[in-house]
Amino acid sequence: MHIAEGFLPAPHAIGWTVAAAPFVVHGARAVVKEVREHPESTLLLGAAGAFTFVLSAIKLPSITGSSSHPTGTGAGAVLFRPPVMALLGTVVLLFQALLLAHGGLTTLGANAFAFAVVGPWAGYGAYRLARALGAGLLPGVFVALALADLATYVTTSLQLALAFPDAAGGFAGAVVKFLGVFALTQVPLALAEGLLGVLLFRVLTTSARPELERLGLLPAVPAEERG
């Protein structure tokens, strides 16, 4: 769920762009540094961006009967860390605006803040917390993806409430309204995305174990023990 082009008044569009900019610039610096040190990462990072875009094209059956699309940033945050996702997420948003007419250019800053900054950080934070509390990889992945999705939707609702306070209830009233309307689709979707993440990582732990070990998600097992 991205805010459509032209939906936010100009001051809000500018304000959110300014708010998202430091994170995206920080992400860009991380990518430039990574590419300078490991030129071969260009293709890997490009693949990660393309995967995030394509993940949002997978339709998940939702409890409410309709089907929904995952945000895909939670998986990226676990695999590649939030700073890189701030940049990749923004690139994906730009492509979604230009290739699918999802979101927009003046609302790119607001959407980047929710989708590429808050979502990945919330998901990654939840993942680290779950792992620190002793949870395994899969429960960690579930909370990361579900929370990244939920945090994105809550942020979008707050952005809309700030732009359109309720006539009677003010900002608080508007928050309740927007959260309520979008909760119908987004809460089942968050759970569905968490579940998809578990299934995804379960396959990855068997088919792409060396990659997960290299990314530090699983403890490295010496080759001779792997059999």
Partner 1 sequence: MSAGLAVDDAAWASAWRTRAPLDKLLLCGGLVVCALVLPAWPGSVLVALTAVALALGPARVPARTFGRAVRWPLAFVATGALTAVVSVDGGGLGWAPDAAARAGDLVGHSVAGGAAVLLLATTTPVSDLLPVLRRLRVPAAVVEVASVTYRLLFVLLDSLRTIREAQANRMGYSSVRRSYRSSGALAAAVLTRSFDRARRMQEGLAGRGMETGLRVLPEALPSSPAFLAASAAGLATLLTVGLVA
Q: Which is nearer to partner 1, 147 or 186 (CB)?
A: 186
CB of 102 to partner 1, least distance (A): 6
Binding segment for partner 1 (CB under 8 A), chosen from 109-117, 128-136, 199-207, 218-226, is 199-207
Note the helical H segments in the chain: 10-37, 41-55, 73-80, 82-95, 108-112, 119-132, 137-163, 170-207, 209-214, 223-226
How far apart, in Å, are the Cα atoms of 53 and each of 7, 33, 58, 121, 192?
23, 23, 10, 18, 18
Neighbours of 99 (CB within 10 A): 9
Residue nearer to partner 1 on the CB measure, 134 or 145: 145
Per CB under 8 A, 226 contacts partner 1: no
User: Whole-angstrom Cα distance, residue 198 to residue 204?
Assistant: 10
d(CA 185, CA 191): 11
- How far apart (Å, rounded) are the C-alpha atoms in residues 147 and 68? 16
Q: Which residue has the tokens 């769920």?
A: 1
Q: How far is the CB of 132 from partner 1 (least distance, A)?
A: 26
Does 200 engage in binding with partner 1 (CB under 8 A)? yes
Measured from the CB atom, the residue of 104 and 119 that comes closer to partner 1 is 104
Within 140-159, the residues that bind partner 1 by CB under 8 A are: none
Alpha-carbon span 44 to 12, nearest angstrom: 35
Indicate whether 10 belongs to the interface with partner 1 (CB under 8 A).
Answer: yes
The verdict on 101 binding partner 1 (CB under 8 A) reads: yes
Q: Which stretch binds partner 1 (CB under 8 A): 15-23, 122-130, 136-144, 205-213?
A: 205-213
Judged by CB under 8 A, does residue 160 bind partner 1? yes
- Residue 132 has a CB neighbour count (10 Å cut-off) of 9
Within 25-84, the residues that bind partner 1 by CB under 8 A are 28, 31-32, 35-36, 39-40, 42-51, 53-55, 57-61, 75
Q: Does 114 bind partner 1 (CB under 8 A)?
A: no
Could you say whether residue 208 binds partner 1 (CB under 8 A)?
yes
CB of 13 to partner 1, least distance (A): 7
